[in-house]
Amino acid sequence: MDLRSVFSPRPAHPRYRRTASALLGLTMAAALTALPATPSLAAPQAATGPLLSYFVNTYPGHAAALVAEQQIAQAGGTVVHSYEQIGVVVAHSDNPAFAGTLRATRLFDSVGATRTAPLAPALESNPVGLSAEEAAAADSAADAGQEPLEPLQWDIGAIKADQAHAVSLGSRRVLVGVIDTGVDDTHPDLAPNFDAADSVSCVSGAPDTTPGAWRPTAGAPGYYHGTHVAGTIAAARNGIGVTGVAPGVRLAAIKVSEPTKSAFYPESVVCGFVWAAEHHVDITNNSYYIDPWYFNCLDGLDQQAAREAVRRAAGYATDRGTLHVASAGNKNWDLAARSITDTYSPNDGTPVNREVDPRKCLAVPSGLPGVVTVAATGALNLKSSYSNYGQTVIDVAAPGGDWTFYQPPQAPAVSGGILSTMPDGDYGHLNGTSMASPHVAGVAALLKSTHPDAPPHQIAKMLEQQADALSCPVPYDIDGNAVCQGGRPYNGFYGHGLVNALRAVTR
């Protein structure tokens, strides 16, 4: 998939739903005892279908997990990982009747496939590299105390991060999790702030702590994405290359994209959120949406199961002190509209045209309760030409870059994109709301450094209160199809405004 991020208004926080099953009205221990040793339904079909991954959503706790694991085995599946904390079990099966068999037991809240294509054997625009001429111009323009390439980072000045660094670089106590394609922790601008002990690969749907498993898969589509995001958040001030928004905080890599497709399947994201919850991650950055559906609707049983599993995992992390920041997406869609034509889903099979109401069909994770949704701006502080928007949807805005002919930066910068770290010690420019979200994650990390006892909802509120309000542009002539609604305090293009790093460390 492209590392896009597409997003929708968040609903009222749904309450956790317990199953209405009569059997689950008993204690789960009793339910387990009552289950027969052999399936009560017809035996599952022979293994004739593609090998798929599934969610089995049940009640939290060990007893419920045992029930699920027994039923999964009887239906012809194998358990990949059981997240007993949230009642989510990840399973694989090549039985075409697997999901239907488990649904028919009426033991589970929901069961659904996480994809439409078989499991593989175990984005944004292409990056624009940094020319030697541009690097030399930046180095000669750098003032005392600036990083060599900092004059090319127009985005750092746009949110006053350069001024913030004179006050604070952020606290080593604060940990930001980069849920993405992996991070090249050997990069000289990232190594000083990298936390290997709290990094992981969640690609299989289960945590893999093998050293280096969190690194990007070289040559995979978008493999550079997570490393670029990480640099925007916390590239070190060490006299090398660029600076991050919060160059004094720690970074953890939480790799969730499949190496063959750069697909962000929900079982990997569930693993990532649970990992963040249990490794004291203060902020997560989420510059993606879960595959294979742009929007997850409740009338699709598979989409319903995926949406519920990720909601539980994200909420679990929030309850344990983690704030989630997510990008709003790159389709120039009005996410407050009553209807959007989704022609991209499922993106791992044959897409179909479907009309969705983004107020009901959630883009995940940005549409989940408590997630900070970020729109992108360019070098002229206008909404980026590609950025999704929507009144009541966008929380804040941050630099994501734009095509240079739309929003040219001031010299010595020549690219309207965001300059950050790339694998193998390189640097490059990218455009996207994926680049906007890590700016907000960095400012949130500075806020958490300044207010270490503040819970996630307070940090989110501070992001809004301390942002620089931006009025709807009149006219907005980058794209005549985008209409900004609202006033200066809050509108659909910028939410509460452009985040302000200086206020994060001085108020």
| The 3-state secondary structure of 22-85, one letter per residue | CHHHCCHHHHHHHCCCCCCCCCCCCCCCCCEEEEEECCCCHHHHHHHHHHHHHCCEEEEEEECC
- DSSP letter, residue 354: E
Instruction: Note the pLDDT of residue 13.
Output: 34
pLDDT score at 6: 30
The number of residues making up the chain comes to 507
d(CA 476, CA 332): 13
pLDDT in tens, 91-145: 999 999 999 999 999 999 999 999 999 987 654 445 666 666 767 777 777 787 8
The amino acid at residue 196 is A
The per-residue pLDDT for range 383-434, each reduced to its tens digit, is 999 999 999 999 999 999 998 888 999 999 999 999 999 999 999 999 999 9
Residue-wise pLDDT tens for the chain (507 aa)?
434 333 333 333 332 232 222 222 233 333 333 333 334 444 445 557 999 999 999 999 999 999 999 999 999 999 999 999 999 999 999 999 999 999 999 999 999 999 999 987 654 445 666 666 767 777 777 787 899 999 999 999 999 999 999 999 999 999 999 999 999 999 999 999 999 999 999 999 999 999 999 999 988 889 999 999 999 999 999 999 999 999 999 999 999 998 877 799 999 999 999 999 999 999 999 999 999 999 999 989 999 999 999 999 999 999 999 999 999 999 999 999 999 999 999 999 899 999 999 989 999 999 999 999 999 999 999 999 999 999 999 999 999 999 888 899 999 999 999 999 999 999 999 999 999 999 999 999 999 999 999 999 999 999 999 999 999 998 776 766 889 999 999 999 999 999 999 999 998
| Three-state secondary-structure class, residue 253 | strand
Q: How far is CA 133 from CA 98, 148, 262, 412, in A?
A: 58, 13, 32, 10
> Residue 397 pairs with which residues in a beta bridge?
375, 498
CA angle 78, 82, 84 (to 5 degrees): 150
**Structure tokens that stand for 255 in this block:** 């790799």
Distance of alpha carbon 500 from alpha carbon 507, whole angstroms: 11
Q: To the nearest 10°, the Cα dihedral for 152, 155, 158, 162?
A: -70
Q: Residue 24 has what pLDDT?
A: 28
| Residue 135 phi, psi dihedral angles, 5° rounding | -65, -40
> What is the distance of C-alpha 127 from the center of its chain?
20
Query: Which phi-psi region, left, alpha or beta, contains residue 411 (left: φ > 0; alpha: ψ -120 to 50)?
Result: beta
Q: In this predicted structure, what is the pLDDT of residue 480?
A: 66
Strand, helix or coil at 228?
helix
Burial class (CB in 10 A: 0-12, 13-18, 19+), 469: middle
Which whole-number Å values give the CA distances from 205 to 1, 103, 443, in the listed order?
18, 22, 30
CB 295 within 8 A of CB 343: no
Asked whether 237 and 188 are in contact (CB, 8 A), the reply is: no
Q: Yes or no: say if 288 and 264 are a contact pair by the CB < 8 Å rule.
A: yes
In this prediction, residue 129 carries a pLDDT of: 63
| CA 114 – CA 292 distance, rounded (Å) | 8
- Residue-level pLDDT at 156: 98
Q: Which amino acid is located at 339 in the chain?
A: S
Closest CA to 152 of 404, 497, 398, 423: 404
Residue in 245, 185, 235 with CA at minimum distance from that of residue 215: 185
Report the chain's C-alpha Rg in angstroms. 23
